[in-house]
């Protein structure tokens, strides 16, 4: 194959680029939302590769460009693509299905057709920028067909795929009318990575049930041409750049900002914090219900505590998200109506996203971090809180349904569906002694240090490179 010299040896492909286009010509780019971009940005900065993705706006046709030291290759999505491939199939079919049908998935044949079409567009854009024998790393559920499509276009490249969200049990997965095509798409990769061991197990079971291929200890025998090849399906729990959060947490101006936040809230005895995209998987309603009842029952004194809930806007044109926003804002309004005084707020609800500096100040200001997801691939917010607590203080309440619970075993563990249990966990966290906070935080911080995002990508890419020989 004769390819020009300026193609990349390492290519990341994800639905979103790390930056979204804004309306502001003076400040045209802002950080994209979500854990995927947070995790991959430091990896991309360290590698000299290209990042293929959507620039976050309809109809934008941009040539490749460099931003903040990264080479970005934009893929155009039209209004219809956004409605059918992104909001439709990705976020109203796959997202609810893979999060254990917390919301009902919608199955539309036209959305599937759009998903196939856009996945092909991403595969073609990737095939155009990848150098001969390049390593290509495809990311997440929006692009599950890209590994197979890319392998057909470019059999010379090494293909990894990482799935950032849960992979459901077969009894749920089997609802998908296109269940065979999606598994076949993923099996185009040499290594298929998941957040948890349970996700990799669910995937292997789906492969056996639908195709009858042999799967053994994370290795899958896939027919190819007249012969067979091997694909790996394994867990690689994702993480964060912990050192970066520590560094921010040490900055005097960020510590001053944390003190200012506490003061502005009247220096309450306890500040509780929730930080989520406004998504029904995050258990925000369950959290508010538990908190409201604790205030009602007087187990928490409304003069003494404040809950800061950052709910960053997300997928705002999808009906389930609009409804969730209404429900949450109604609940917040009720709690505040009942418990606010002129000088004090029971819930500080912030429907915004904030830059990393402000997030670290919030983490430092919060005595208790609440992560009550009903289902979550990993939840990097839990890890960001731990990494920011250089003072060794603070308590983390963590749902057992978040992938992070497999690693962060020293958190106060909750089943978010058990409202009484969540209430007890919140009270235990608020009342936790200083010594107990330090003991738990020490162990939590050790875990985040041992598995940081650089280690995550190193482990994945080492397994991927090892496949070169066996292709
Ligand atoms: C999660 C997904 C990502 C996604 C992010 C933000 O973290 O795993 O793939 O990018 O949410 O969602 P959005 O739909 O705004 O890209």
Count CB atoms within 10 A of the CB of residue 87.
18
Q: Please state the φ and ψ torsions of residue 167, each to the nearest 5 degrees.
A: -115, 120
Dist. CA 413–CA 109, nearest whole Å: 40
Is 381 in contact with 275 (CB distance < 8 Å)?
yes
Dist. CA 362–CA 345, nearest whole Å: 16
Give residues with Cβ within 8 angstroms of 83, minimum separation 6: 317
- Res 69: pLDDT: 85
Q: Please state the φ and ψ torsions of residue 141, each to the nearest 5 degrees.
A: -65, -20
For every one of its 471 residues, what pLDDT tens digit does the chain have, with 9 covering 90 and above? Answer: 444 457 999 999 999 999 999 989 889 999 898 878 888 988 888 888 999 999 999 999 999 999 988 899 999 999 999 999 999 999 999 999 999 999 999 999 999 999 999 999 999 999 999 999 999 999 999 999 999 999 999 999 999 999 999 999 999 999 999 999 999 999 999 999 999 999 999 999 999 999 999 999 999 999 999 999 999 999 999 999 999 999 999 999 999 999 999 999 999 999 999 999 999 999 999 999 999 999 999 999 999 999 999 999 999 999 999 999 999 999 999 999 999 999 899 999 999 999 999 999 999 999 999 999 999 999 999 999 999 999 999 999 999 999 999 999 999 999 999 999 999 999 999 999 999 999 999 999 999 999 999 999 999 999 999 999 776
Pocket test for ligand 1, best of 19, 35, 162, 163 (most atoms within 8 A of CB): 35
3-class secondary-structure state, position 246: helix
Could you tell me the distance, in angstroms and rounded to a whole number, from the CA of residue 442 to the centre of ligand 1?
Answer: 30
CATH superfamily of 242-451: Glycogen Phosphorylase B; (3.40.50.2000)
Dist. CA 412–CA 190, nearest whole Å: 38
- Res 5: pLDDT: 52
Element (H, E) at 423: helix 419-431
* Protein residue closest via CA to atom 12 of ligand 1: 34
Ligand 1 close to Cβ of residue 140 (< 6 A): yes
Identify which of 282, 244, 307 has the alpha carbon closest to the alpha carbon of residue 399. 282
Could you tell me the distance, in angstroms and rounded to a whole number, from the CA of residue 226 to the centre of ligand 1?
Answer: 38
Dist. CA 47–CA 137, nearest whole Å: 12
- Res 2: pLDDT: 42
Dist. CA 156–CA 87, nearest whole Å: 33
List beta partners, residue 74.
53
Ligand 1 close to Cβ of residue 34 (< 6 A): yes
Dist. CA 149–CA 116, nearest whole Å: 10
Pocket test for ligand 1, best of 19, 34, 195 (most atoms within 8 A of CB): 34
Is 85 in contact with 114 (CB distance < 8 Å)?
yes
Instruction: State pTM to two decimals.
Output: 0.96
Cα-Cα-Cα-Cα dihedral sign, residues 184, 188, 194, 197:
positive
Q: Which two tokens stand for residue 334?
A: 């009720």
Give residues with Cβ within 8 angstroms of 306, minimum separation 6: 265, 266, 268, 270, 271, 272, 344, 345, 346, 347, 348
Domains 8-238+454-470 and 242-451 agree in fold: yes
Count CB atoms within 10 A of the CB of residue 151.
20
Beta-strand ranges (E) seen in 375-438 are 395-399, 412-414
- Res 438: pLDDT: 98
Cα-Cα-Cα-Cα dihedral sign, residues 432, 435, 436, 442:
positive
3-state helix, strand, coil in the chain (%, to 5): 45, 20, 30
Ligand 1 close to Cβ of residue 163 (< 6 A): no
Pocket test for ligand 1, best of 143, 164, 383 (most atoms within 8 A of CB): 164
> Helices 109-129 and 146-153: crossing angle, nearest 10°?
40
Could you tell me the distance, in angstroms and rounded to a whole number, from the CA of residue 38 to the centre of ligand 1?
Answer: 10
Is 82 in contact with 117 (CB distance < 8 Å)?
no
Could you tell me the distance, in angstroms and rounded to a whole number, from the CA of residue 155 to the centre of ligand 1?
Answer: 29
CATH architecture, domain defined by 8-238+454-470: 3-Layer(aba) Sandwich (3.40)
242 to 354, 357, 382, 384, 447: CA distances (angstroms) = 18, 14, 12, 7, 10
How does DSSP assign 18-66, residue by residue?
SEEE-S-TTS-EEEPPSHHHHHHHHHHHHTT-EEEEE-SSTT-----EE
* Index of the ligand 1 atom closest to the CA of residue 14: 9
3-class secondary-structure state, position 396: strand
All structural domains of the chain with their residue ranges: 8-238+454-470, 242-451
């Amino acid at each position: 194959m004769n390819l020009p010299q300026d193609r990349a040896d390492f290519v990341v492909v994800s639905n979103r680029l790390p930056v979204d286009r804004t309306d502001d010509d003076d400040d045209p780019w802002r950080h994209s939302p979500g854990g995927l971009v947070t995790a991959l940005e430091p990896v991309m900065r360290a590698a000299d590769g290209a990042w293929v993705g959507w620039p976050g706006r309809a109809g934008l046709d941009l040539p490749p460009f460099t931003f903040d030291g990264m080479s970005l290759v934009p893929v155009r999505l039209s209004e219809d693509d956004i409605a059918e491939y992104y909001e439709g199939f990705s976020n109203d079919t796959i997202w609810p299905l893979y999060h254990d049908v917390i919301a009902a998935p919608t199955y539309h044949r036209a959305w599937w057709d759009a998903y196939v079409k856009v996945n092909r567009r991403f595969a073609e854009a990737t095939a155009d920028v990848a150098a001969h024998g390049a390593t290509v790393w495809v990311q997440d559920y929006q692009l599950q067909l890209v590994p197979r499509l890319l392998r057909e276009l470019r059999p010379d490249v090494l293909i990894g795929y990482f799935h950032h969200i849960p992979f459901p049990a077969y009894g749920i997965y089997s609802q998908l009318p296109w269940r065979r095509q999606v598994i076949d798409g993923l099996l185009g990769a040499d290594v298929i990575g998941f957040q948890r061991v349970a996700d990799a197990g669910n995937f292997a079971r789906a492969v056996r049930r639908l195709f009858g291929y042999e799967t053994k200890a994370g290795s899958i025998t896939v027919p190819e041409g007249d012969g067979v090849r091997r694909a790996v399906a394994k867990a690689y729990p994702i993480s964060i750049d912990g050192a970066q959060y520590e560094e921010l947490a040490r900055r005097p101006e960020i510590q001053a900002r944390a003190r200012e936040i506490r003061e502005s809230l009247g220096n309450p005895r306890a500040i509780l914090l929730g930080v989520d995209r406004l998504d029904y998987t995050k258990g925000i309603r369950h959290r508010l219900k538990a908190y409201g009842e604790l205030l009602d029952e007087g187990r928490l004194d409304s003069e003494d505590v404040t809950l800061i809930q950052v709910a960053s806007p997300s997928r705002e044109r999808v009906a389930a998200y609009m409804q969730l926003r209404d429900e949450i804002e109604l609940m917040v309004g009720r709690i505040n109506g009942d418990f606010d005084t002129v000088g004090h707020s029971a819930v500080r609800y912030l429907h915004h996203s904030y830059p990393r500096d402000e997030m670290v100040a919030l983490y430092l200001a919060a005595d208790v971090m609440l992560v009550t997801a009903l289902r979550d691939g990993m939840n990097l917010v839990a890890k960001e809180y731990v990494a920011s607590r250089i003072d060794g203080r603070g308590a983390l309440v963590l749902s057992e349904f978040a992938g992070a619970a497999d690693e962060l075993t020293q958190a106060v563990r909750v089943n978010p569906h058990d409202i009484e249990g969540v209430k007890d966990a919140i009270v235990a966290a608020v009342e936790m002694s200083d010594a107990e906070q330090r003991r738990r935080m020490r162990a939590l911080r050790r875990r985040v240090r041992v598995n940081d995002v650089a280690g995550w990508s190193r482990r994945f890419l080492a397994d991927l490179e090892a496949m070169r020989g066996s292709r």
